[in-house]
Amino acid sequence: MSKISVLGAGSWGSALGLVLAKKGYEVSLWTLNEEQANKINNARENIDYLPGIVFPNNIKVTTCLEESVKDSEIIVLAVPSQAIRSVSKQIKPFVKDNQILVDVAKGLEKGTGLRLSEVCKQELPNNPYVTLSGPSHAEEVAKDIPTTVVVASENLEVSQRVQDAFMSPKFRVYTNPDIVGVELGGALKNIIAFGAGICDGLGLGDNAKAALMTRGIREIGRLGAAMGADASTFAGLSGIGDLIVTCTSMHSRNRRAGILIGQGKGLEETLKEVKMVVEGITATEVAYEMADKLNVDMPITNAIYSVLHKGSNPNEVIIELMMRNKTHEMEEVVNDKLGF
């Protein structure tokens, strides 16, 4: 079998490396941390992120980017969203035009508001690009618990090649031509998951969370449509599917961070406790700016932004949300042209 490079040895990169290794691919798993590389290679386990999961011998961990991407059919970008540009720049001298880039990060670039496909196109314009998204906690994927995801690209043939590479009895992969919608669904749901965590931290019930998720997917679809996405995409795996799993599971770092904020902890203390990148924090800031620029109504996003960046009291923000001007639900469906 051919070689696939996975850049990023966190939980998600490691889990996808396991999926590919079980299919017989030679997997080169890259990490910047030499100590981590040695620990995984020696123990055959990523103790820090996926304890108890045995790594097969066809996963080789390296700290050398050139070695990792050399002769790889596919390069999986499994680093945090804000590192996509820097890593793309670093691999540029070693990458050939026929190598497919598969981005599995879910976010928007801070400062530019660009989707990650747009970032990669700026840095590696000649490489085919695919995004992989959907309801997929690494902890469950690594344990072979059935999971479904979606891949999107401007080129259907490239999407299908990636679909074939990842597809297994425990990891089902769909294709979708709407790369804008798939990327935005994966990025924006983290905002709502953060809000769901705040609700849990405040001790609110199932009613509040159901309302948040339902109104949240409408916000996601509204901004997505304004940015050129197909609204129907948000009714699929990268939209409502990813939203459900991220808002309800303790595997979700965004929800866990929101819980701590709801319990009264500060942002810095929260990030120290979670110990992983919380994509929803940056996504909230970028979406807030994009909504303002495009004149899109996103009250939940605005409320979470207010809590994170203006020091607003979550309980007071919830009252403000509840007491907004009256409206008609089905009228919104027609006006937003979302169809759901």
- Residues noted as catalytic: 189
Nearest of 115, 279, 291, 325 to residue 220 by alpha carbon: 291
Nearest of 75, 133, 64, 137 to residue 104 by alpha carbon: 133
Q: How far apart are CA 175 and CA 307, in angstroms?
A: 37
Residue 59 exposed, middle or buried by CB count within 10 Å (0-12, 13-18, 19+):
buried
Q: How far apart are CA 207 and CA 69, in angstroms?
A: 48
Q: How far apart are CA 113 and CA 108, in angstroms?
A: 6
- The SS3 assignment for 61 reads strand
Q: Which token pair is 121?
A: 């196109």
Asked whether the beta carbons of 65 and 44 are under 8 A apart, the reply is no
